[in-house]
Structure 1
Amino acid sequence: MMHSLKWLLHGHQDGNFRQKRAKAGLLVTSELDKALEDCKARVARIVKDCTARNVKFRDMEFDLDNDKNQCLYGLEVTDTYDISDVQRVTDIYDNPGLFDAGGPDANDIVQGGLGDCWFLSALSTMATSKGLVDKFCVAHNKTVGVYGFIFFRDMQWVPVIIDDLLCMSIPKFEELSSTEQQLYHYDKDRYNRHARKGGKTLTFAKSGTEGETWVPLIEKAYAKHHGDYASLEGGYTSDAIEDLTGGVSITVLTKDILDKDKFWREELLMANKDRLFGCYYNTLNTTRAGVESTTVQGLIGSHAYSILRAVECKGKRFVVIRNPWGQAEWTGPWSNGSKEWTQEWLEILPQLQHEFGADGQFVMEYCDFLDCWDVIDRTRLFDDSWVMSSQWLQVLSRPLKSAWSYGDVSCPHYHPFILYSRLTNVFLAT
């Protein structure tokens, strides 16, 4: 057996670190500052070069325009997406911006034609923690069309640079039937001004706030990070949050929670402070019901939802949740417009930071929350007072004449052991 040891140390050395430490966010490692500076420098070089040559940036490593199939599907076409053509952000929006004045918001995320609800649920969850999304959106220049992000992978921060080309689902004027063209009085300019403008034209994810571009661009960067868009079909919210923050995730099965009061106090109430949560339930067997699929009071099976916050009001415990689709909400007790919302309880809406509307956000009482969801994904975030140490193991197999095995070491995956510790607190990820 051969191994190499790598350790990283950060944090306050005095006993008052709890009062002094920064808010939990991106995992601080020795590579974080280097990755941030590298990302900013690469964006700056691209801006300088493109300006000198009077061209917009085109990412030759992930060119949706000229290498579309490779960027969408990789080596194998497993699905086909509704794509008309590819346009730049500045052509899609009249006045685009990465964020609006209020910054990223959980309600700004709307899923498109890609099955990446798990990733968008992670984004929605992270957007509830102010300043967290901004940290991995490192640098950009909308004039040149270049955007730089960082993701955490294999125990290190990796810069990812993309251009601003996005897939459109609305066809070109020439592709319309004569009847469809007639609706716009055969006026191509009118059609382009009304039908082919704004986020509604995008094939994949979009922002619920017109003109914001952070949602489709982060989705594109994450697709490039994984090789292609199709690689984002299906996944776990906790995995995405780990990639975006460097945190450590665990899976909590609601049926296995021993002390539900303790879980509320020590876990859910800490949502968006030093941990983030997602949830889902397993798809029901609907053979007996004679239908292809069904829902549980509006909730969709095997679909990732974001837990935005947990709030205790007037002796009741509430969990505010969001569907990344931006629609299809819970219809049970405390749903929008339900009988529970008497005048007395309407007063707590500001405390819940909730408004009625078809935006995918809804409220559940804690007891209903535990009854409906099977799985809760919890990701622990770290501040700069934590230590990460890791040990990579290379385990060689035995000679061919013996039974195939990993030799004297039993290990479920070829994987590093990562130890996070802060004084007496320890997390071990394997």
Structure 2
Amino acid sequence: MERGGKAADEDAGLFVDSEFPADDSALLSDCSTPIIKLKGKVTWMRPQEICQSPELFPQDISLGHAKQGLLGDCWLLCACTVLLQNKHLLNKVIPPDQPTWGDSGYKGFFHFCFWQYGHWKDVIIDDLLPCIDLKPCFSRCLSPTSFWVALLEKAYAKLYGSYERLWAGQVSEAWVDLTGGLAEHWSLGAIGTEEENDKQQDTDLVRRRPDLVKFGKDNCILSCSINSRTAVEEANELGQYHALIVLEWLEVSTVSGDKVHLLRIRNPWGRCSWTGSWGEGGHSWSSLDPLCAVDLQARISQGEFWLDEEEFVYMFDDVIAGYKVDENGHLISIYSGHILLHRHQLAGEWIKGCSAGGSRNSSSYSTNPKYWLKVRERGEVLVALLQHKENKRVDKSVHMLFEDLRMNKHQHYQAIALHIWKVEKRRFNLRRVLNTAPFASTHCHAYDREVVLHQELEPGYYLMIPSTYQPEAEARFLLRVFSSSSTSLSTLKSTALSLPLTLGGEWDNSYFQGAWVKGSTAGGSRNFHSHWCNPHFLFSVCNDTMQIPGVNIRITLHQKKPENSLHPIGFHVYKTQDGIPEAKSQKNNEPVASCIPHCYNQVVALPCSLTPGVYTIVPSTYEPDCPANFTICISRRVHRKVVRCQETLGKAIQEISCTSLMQN
């Protein structure tokens, strides 16, 4: 519903923002989230129409905390909570001394600043706020007369295009936008052994977390969330995918002399019914000195609660660790507490057919953009790869899926990663370097807006290559470097001239991880009706593989079990019909290739010659309900062109090399 008093506002000299009008166009972009129900029901009111004496901030700062409304933007509100605790950051986002209600200079607009892809961007809004029943319907302060949260939320919505665009997001994104800093994603879930982690291929996983007590207590800002429904049921009102913020982290002594780490958590909903051992009336309070217990309980404001580190790790699945930013705008390292005084940034782009080379599984990997990092003395270095968000239009029927944040990320982001090689000489062979293991990497390709690599680096030259997981995936990005010692960052210029095709060929490897789970995906062989419950994997065969007659595909299945407990394993390959990616759609068809009989081997393989098209692999054990993890490797025979590369490092150097398979 449009505001009827627009002409009156203009007559009174109050600003009306024509770029972000007070109507449904500011609320909705795709009509794909639950706020579609508000269409036509919202009125727009200025703060002086909502209450008698509006103010930006309350005198009692604890009442300035955000309370979430009907919009699913807890991720933004968590970052706002940290702003309230850091005045120098707050003043950057909301420049001080702006005229407000009652001031002679008040004109009905406010000025905000947000960090966007390397630069601070000014956003000016009018102060017309969406309301229902004469009250703001989205985020607001605990104090009903304070409006800094509601206005910041509106400015952020204008930055992104609508309020709806703020539905579902990552605290890390808001933290970077509000501070220009960095944030990392840590998993608190079950993590395998070091050997298992070393063998991980590129997947949508998060990094192994550092020790929470060592790094989290003093050196970073922590936000946490729950992903599993079971944990949500145990946590009452905390909510699946709902983000909360850690306000305080203390070490206290019990009456018996033991040390306990306690965390004070704030729920942006402004309420909680936490029933853990440190909740209201919880039994753990009796383990503390009564005066200490009273003092800690007195710190609790609306929507806050205490829990200990053991409860924290058990209850929450993911943590966003935000880097602190000092008053000079320098990052403070999470890992060491050192100030990272040196910083550089360069913009880049993955362009289809030119510089979108894909992951190291692809033969085109070397076409990705390349950068030189020169380290002049040993120091701590952070390298961050930030991709631009692409706001794609989604089907209106998708709104039920927005609770799945990972799907939401996949809609807007590519899976990205960063690899670094140390180059000992100023003249080097690019092919040989890329065929060696990277000196450091971000561990995996992830569907995040930004991935961060932390490393202690010795003096020297380092080759850095950012990549998407899929070849030909286009996106713009920003590469940022923060360091404790002097560094320099530059683009490595390269040109490639096509030469005639050479005879022979090479092989590209793609890897898939899977598992046969008892009662679920361990369907057994084709002798059993449950065979179609087995995992299935799509792959394609292109015309390029037919350049050389004969075998063009080799499939390898590796079960991850000890030699003394192997299952008999095998697989079938089906050609898909009409591009349907379901193995069960091939139920009435015969496989085009099979690796049978099932063998008690750790590895089974099948070379075959397949015509161009899309295929499905169905790996299985011989009998159902035989659990095991496995890896499938699909090797495609490919033709490669010999390319002439010209690399620049200080001065031009030339080399002739043949790009080849990049081995992990």
Q: Same fold (TM over 0.5)?
A: yes
Where in structure 2 are the equivalents of 1:26-65 lying within 5 Å? 54-64=12-22
* Count of residue pairs brought into register by the alignment: 332
Structure 1 stretch 390-399 or stretch 85-94: which is displaced more? 390-399
Q: Determine if contact 2:110/2:126 at 8 Å carries over to the other structure.
A: yes
Where in structure 2 are the equivalents of 1:190-339 lying within 5 Å? 196=134, 201-255=135-189, 256=191, 262-270=211-219, 275-284=220-229, 294-314=233-253, 315-339=259-283
- Structure 2 residue 479 is matched with structure 1 residue 417: yes
217 and 266 in structure 1: CA distance in 2 versus 1, 3 angstrom threshold: same
297 and 333 in structure 1: CA distance in 2 versus 1, 3 angstrom threshold: farther
Q: Determine if contact 1:298/1:331 at 8 Å carries over to the other structure.
A: no
Partner Cα separation in structure 2 for residue 261 and residue 72 of structure 1: 40
Where in structure 2 are the equivalents of 1:27-176 lying within 5 Å? 54-64=12-22, 68-76=23-31, 78-79=33-34, 80-82=36-38, 83-103=41-61, 105=62, 108-139=65-96, 140-142=98-100, 143-170=106-133
Give CA deviations for 1:74-132 in whole Å, capped at 9, x if unaligned: 254544254441111111121011012244x4762111010111111221233233443
- Structure 2 residue 367 is matched with structure 1 residue 408: yes
Partner Cα separation in structure 1 for residue 325 and residue 299 of structure 2: 31
Q: Determine if contact 1:336/1:356 at 8 Å carries over to the other structure.
A: no
Q: Determine if contact 1:71/1:229 at 8 Å carries over to the other structure.
A: yes
Q: What's the offset of the Cα at 1:328? A: 2.3
336 and 128 in structure 1: CA distance in 2 versus 1, 3 angstrom threshold: farther
Partner Cα separation in structure 1 for residue 480 and residue 320 of structure 2: 19
- Structure 2 residue 325 is matched with structure 1 residue 367: no
Residue identity matched to 2:225: Y
Q: What's the offset of the Cα at 1:369? A: 0.6
| Higher helix fraction (1 or 2) | 1
Partner Cα separation in structure 1 for residue 241 and residue 271 of structure 2: 16
Residue identity matched to 1:202: P
167 and 51 in structure 1: CA distance in 2 versus 1, 3 angstrom threshold: closer
Partner of 1:193: none
425 and 119 in structure 1: CA distance in 2 versus 1, 3 angstrom threshold: farther
298 and 379 in structure 1: CA distance in 2 versus 1, 3 angstrom threshold: same
Q: What's the offset of the Cα at 1:136? A: 1.1
Q: Determine if contact 1:349/1:355 at 8 Å carries over to the other structure.
A: no
Q: What's the offset of the Cα at 1:231? A: 0.2
Partner Cα separation in structure 2 for residue 341 and residue 425 of structure 1: 50
Residue identity matched to 1:161: I
Q: What's the offset of the Cα at 1:302? A: 1.1
265 and 406 in structure 1: CA distance in 2 versus 1, 3 angstrom threshold: closer
Residue identity matched to 1:304: A
Partner Cα separation in structure 1 for residue 126 and residue 145 of structure 2: 17
Q: What's the offset of the Cα at 1:309? A: 1.3
Residue identity matched to 1:264: V
Residue identity matched to 2:345: S
349 and 169 in structure 1: CA distance in 2 versus 1, 3 angstrom threshold: farther
Partner Cα separation in structure 2 for residue 152 and residue 282 of structure 1: 29
Q: What's the offset of the Cα at 1:221? A: 0.6
Q: What's the offset of the Cα at 1:238? A: 1.2
Q: What's the offset of the Cα at 1:391? A: 2.0
283 and 169 in structure 1: CA distance in 2 versus 1, 3 angstrom threshold: farther
Q: Determine if contact 1:268/1:310 at 8 Å carries over to the other structure.
A: yes
Residue identity matched to 1:276: I
Q: What's the offset of the Cα at 1:343? A: 8.9
Partner Cα separation in structure 2 for residue 377 and residue 231 of structure 1: 21
63 and 423 in structure 1: CA distance in 2 versus 1, 3 angstrom threshold: same
Partner Cα separation in structure 1 for residue 27 and residue 483 of structure 2: 40
Residue identity matched to 1:162: I
Residue identity matched to 2:85: T
Give CA deviations for 1:57-79 in whole Å, capped at 9, x if unaligned: 11111111xxx121000254544
Partner Cα separation in structure 1 for residue 168 and residue 271 of structure 2: 19
Q: Determine if contact 2:250/2:261 at 8 Å carries over to the other structure.
A: yes
Partner Cα separation in structure 2 for residue 87 and residue 120 of structure 1: 22
106 and 322 in structure 1: CA distance in 2 versus 1, 3 angstrom threshold: farther
Q: Determine if contact 1:106/1:123 at 8 Å carries over to the other structure.
A: no
Q: Determine if contact 1:398/1:407 at 8 Å carries over to the other structure.
A: no
Partner Cα separation in structure 1 for residue 121 and residue 137 of structure 2: 27
Q: Determine if contact 2:342/2:486 at 8 Å carries over to the other structure.
A: no
Partner Cα separation in structure 2 for residue 245 and residue 106 of structure 1: 22
Q: What's the offset of the Cα at 1:405? A: 6.4
Q: TM-score, normalised by structure 2?
A: 0.46
* Higher RCO, 1 vs 2 (CA within 8 Å, ≥6 residues apart): 1
- Give secondary structure in 2 for the equivalent of 1:423: coil
Question: Over alpha carbons, which structure has the higher Rg?
Answer: 2
Structure 1 stretch 415-424 or stretch 225-234: which is displaced more? 415-424
Q: Which blocks of at least 5 consecutive residues in structure 2 are unaligned?
A: 1-7, 101-105, 195-207, 254-258, 331-340, 369-465, 469-474, 489-664
Q: What's the offset of the Cα at 1:244? A: 0.3
- Give secondary structure in 1 for the equivalent of 2:278: coil
| Higher strand fraction (1 or 2) | 2
Give CA deviations for 1:5-46 in whole Å, capped at 9, x if unaligned: xxxxxxxxxxxxxxxxxxxxxxxxxxxxxxxxxxxxxxxxxx
Residue identity matched to 1:90: Q
Q: Determine if contact 1:269/1:309 at 8 Å carries over to the other structure.
A: no
Q: What's the offset of the Cα at 1:268? A: 2.5
Q: Determine if contact 1:397/1:406 at 8 Å carries over to the other structure.
A: no
- Give secondary structure in 2 for the equivalent of 1:57: coil
Partner Cα separation in structure 2 for residue 398 and residue 343 of structure 1: 65
* Pick aligned residue for 2:345 from 390, 406, 411: 390
Q: Determine if contact 2:263/2:306 at 8 Å carries over to the other structure.
A: yes
318 and 348 in structure 1: CA distance in 2 versus 1, 3 angstrom threshold: same
Q: What's the offset of the Cα at 1:202? A: 1.2
